[in-house]
Structure 1
Amino acid sequence: MMQKSLANPSAAQGGGLAPGAAAQSGQQAVLRVNVFNTSSNLPLLAAIANGYFAQRNLKIEIQNTPNSDEQRAGLAAGKFEIAHAAVDNAVAMVEAAKQDVVIVSGGDAGMNELMVRAEIHSMADLRGKLLAVDAPNTAYALAAKKILKLNGLLENRDYGVRLAGGTGPRSAAMVSDPELAAGMINPPFSFSIREKGLKSLGSQFSLLGPYQATGAFVMRQWSQANADVLTRYLAAYIEGQRHVMNPAHRGAMIELLTRRFKLAPEVAEGTYQALVTPGSGLAPDARFSRDGFEAVLAIRAEMEGMWGGTPPAPDQYLDLSHYERAIKTARPL
């Protein structure tokens, strides 16, 4: 069967497939999906492994990003069609880079924990220390800064910030560099670095409450030109999320985590449990959390001083119409 990649409209001038052609012709569509290499992608991996994308005539090419700056730049440049990451990155693309990006689904609440080195026993012990972050002004860095502010600590006055990459590199940096005292880390790395002596001061969910973390976002023009393909993609992704969260598949999902991330059995077990924990883990059906997203915007408004300190209405960043069509066709699993 012929395969054609759906080019991003901003990058389609070089002779690629006209946007939407694969959807209209019924040919197989190839989608490049850019992600951080963490367990949040288990629904994507499960959907690939169980043929949910293939059943919708979609071929998925996964790209791993080292950090959010590269992911945001890559999406804008048309290097891939779909990004999965903390949706605050989509807000940053709209507000800072003036890119017309829309969030098209939810995913999870992040499963983050504020991990610290062994000598840190309380928030107060972080005074004079360094916080390891991916990018200083998006997503989990802002969440960490908010947590520290709630505990009387302010950036530059009480602690510093150092760039350390995405979750995997950031975890490794915290283990190897004694100057990096704290960082927001999610599974499986939040479990594996415990074996290296690091510990948790609490989960983001317990310290901050609801938060819309990982979701899918795309360029608005691409979504409009490839609506059918995006709907098929989201339907398969929803099925992957349902597959992962079905207790009947627990053993197989732990095995997939073990194999994909080369985890010890106990780390894979803990990671899976974190993924299916209500509230802080995967969202049923990959639904978008409006309450969680309002928290994202409120944190950005407060910590970055944007919008005069008053968060805007969420709708300008969203287009959930593709999701609503997709969930009507997604099968129970």
Structure 2
Amino acid sequence: MKCKSLPPLVSAIAAVAAGIVVFVHGSPLAQESNLTTLMVGGGSFTTSIAQSNGMFAKYGLRIELPRSAAGGSEEVRRWLASGELDLADYGVDNAIAMVENAGVDVILVAATDYTPTELMAQSEIKSLADLRGKTVLVDAPNTQNALALKKILSTAGLNPGSDYQMKEAGGTTARVAAMLKHKEYAATMASGQTAVRARQAGLVSLAATSSIFGPVLRYGVFTRRQWAKENSNLLVRYLAAHIEAQRWIMDPANKNKVIDIVAQQGKLSRDLAGGIYEMDTGPNGLAKDAAIDVARFSNVLKFRAEVEGSWGGKAPAPDRYYDVSYYEKALAMVNANALK
């Protein structure tokens, strides 16, 4: 199934937000006519590895990630709802927001990572209290990052609107770039390679979600329930490649290769890339075999209920938002292939 293109957007097969190299239309891979194209929102390091190592191609797929200049959650939600995207590998709270705020029947089908998100601030900001009267950047006012920011600042008695202003400024990479260019933008949420590069550029970390909410599921694969039903074979093949990429990254035998890729693509020293590798392969990094950790996902619902007052302040059971049947088929496929 080949979705329509989205000019004047750039189509990529790697995650810009994760600092991954981007390939545009016209690459040799994009000319392979025997592959089925899937349009994916967001993207992750796993997406990049699955593409560059031929895992998507192995399952007959080619992946494109349409993006505007700024990117961001509203963009991914809108395109997924309209059918311009087939699925997303993105912040899982966006799936919840699509169900609850937009009435779009979306399901989480696999996990990607548990990486904590950090509140990054200008170097002169020494404490949360110093953000009073300042402007902070978000991708949208009701996403996982924005909710985390609100919760963190509430611990210092700060409330949006009265104590600080939130300004929408696109995806994580775009927000950090805006902060580095405009000192009046005091803080934003960032994680992984983007947070590392932000620190290298002089920004400072004031807090992390892990210390506020406990362990949460950050990124995952989600799609419209109807699309999943109508394209179950494509979805299972996509998830099989996703699982294989997670396994490849987390295999200790590939450690040096992964560190080299992170260093090269993120333009980081090998020491910093090694630290990212340890984080990604640790308990709060990539999800093992891309399996959904229901407890971590439940924490996402809990903090949305607490911060936004959703569901009357009491989080619902998480099973209404995810479906593991496609993942289970993909895992069986991967395990069967591993025995050949």
User: Shared fold (TM-score greater than 0.5)?
Assistant: yes
Aligned to 2:300: 296
User: Quick one: higher RCO (CA 8 Å, sep 6+), 1 or 2?
Assistant: 1
1:48-77 deviations in Å (ceiling 9; x for gaps): 222222222222223346111111111111
Using the TM superposition, give the Cα deviation of residue 277 of structure 1 relative to its aligned residue in structure 2, in angstroms. 2.8
What does 1:24-43 align with in structure 2 at a 5 Å threshold?
A: 28-35=35-42, 41-43=44-46
Give the 3-state SS of the residue equivalent to 2:55 in structure 1: coil
Using the TM superposition, give the Cα deviation of residue 156 of structure 1 relative to its aligned residue in structure 2, in angstroms. 2.1
Aligned to 2:182: 177
Q: Is the 8 A contact 2:3 2:84 kept in 1?
A: no
Q: Is the 8 A contact 1:105 1:215 kept in 2?
A: yes
Say which of 145, 151, 155 aligns to 2:156: 151
Aligned to 1:48: 51
1:14-71 deviations in Å (ceiling 9; x for gaps): xxxxxxxxxxxxx7432122215xxxx1212112222222222222223346111111
What does 1:55-134 align with in structure 2 at a 5 Å threshold?
A: 55-64=58-67, 66-134=71-139
Using the TM superposition, give the Cα deviation of residue 264 of structure 1 relative to its aligned residue in structure 2, in angstroms. 4.6
Aligned to 2:23: none
Using the TM superposition, give the Cα deviation of residue 203 of structure 1 relative to its aligned residue in structure 2, in angstroms. 2.5
1:5 aligns with 2:10: no
1:282-317 deviations in Å (ceiling 9; x for gaps): 111112121222121122122222211111111111
- Unaligned residue ranges in structure 2 (runs of 5+): 5-33
Q: Is the 8 A contact 1:114 1:183 kept in 2?
A: yes
Using the TM superposition, give the Cα deviation of residue 187 of structure 1 relative to its aligned residue in structure 2, in angstroms. 2.3
Q: 1:70 to 1:49 in 2, by over 3 A?
A: same
1:2-21 deviations in Å (ceiling 9; x for gaps): xx5278xxxxxxxxxxxxxx
1:313 aligns with 2:310: no
Aligned pair count reads: 306
Higher alpha-carbon deviation: 206-215 or 258-267: 258-267
1:217-274 deviations in Å (ceiling 9; x for gaps): 1111110011122111111101101111112212212222334344454443333333
Aligned to 1:18: none
In the alignment, the residues of structure 2 paired with residue 187 and residue 257 of structure 1 have an alpha-carbon distance, to the nearest angstrom, of: 11
1:329 aligns with 2:333: yes
1:119-158 deviations in Å (ceiling 9; x for gaps): 1222222222222111111111101111222332222232
Q: What amino acid does structure 2 have at the position aligned with 1:269?
A: G
Q: What amino acid does structure 2 have at the position aligned with 1:242?
A: R
Q: 1:90 to 1:208 in 2, by over 3 A?
A: same
- Unaligned residue ranges in structure 1 (runs of 5+): 8-26
Aligned to 2:248: 243
Q: What amino acid does structure 2 have at the position aligned with 1:296?
A: V
What does 1:193-232 align with in structure 2 at a 5 Å threshold?
A: 193-232=198-237
In the alignment, the residues of structure 2 paired with residue 75 and residue 259 of structure 1 have an alpha-carbon distance, to the nearest angstrom, of: 31
In the alignment, the residues of structure 1 paired with residue 238 and residue 121 of structure 2 have an alpha-carbon distance, to the nearest angstrom, of: 38
TM norm structure 2: 0.84
In the alignment, the residues of structure 1 paired with residue 205 and residue 301 of structure 2 have an alpha-carbon distance, to the nearest angstrom, of: 25
Q: Is the 8 A contact 1:43 1:243 kept in 2?
A: no
TM norm structure 1: 0.85
Say which of 185, 190, 193 aligns to 2:195: 190
Q: Is the 8 A contact 2:3 2:85 kept in 1?
A: no
Aligned to 1:137: 142
Give the 3-state SS of the residue equivalent to 1:312 in structure 2: coil
1:285 aligns with 2:289: yes
Using the TM superposition, give the Cα deviation of residue 207 of structure 1 relative to its aligned residue in structure 2, in angstroms. 3.1
Q: Is the 8 A contact 1:88 1:138 kept in 2?
A: yes
In the alignment, the residues of structure 2 paired with residue 29 and residue 131 of structure 1 have an alpha-carbon distance, to the nearest angstrom, of: 41
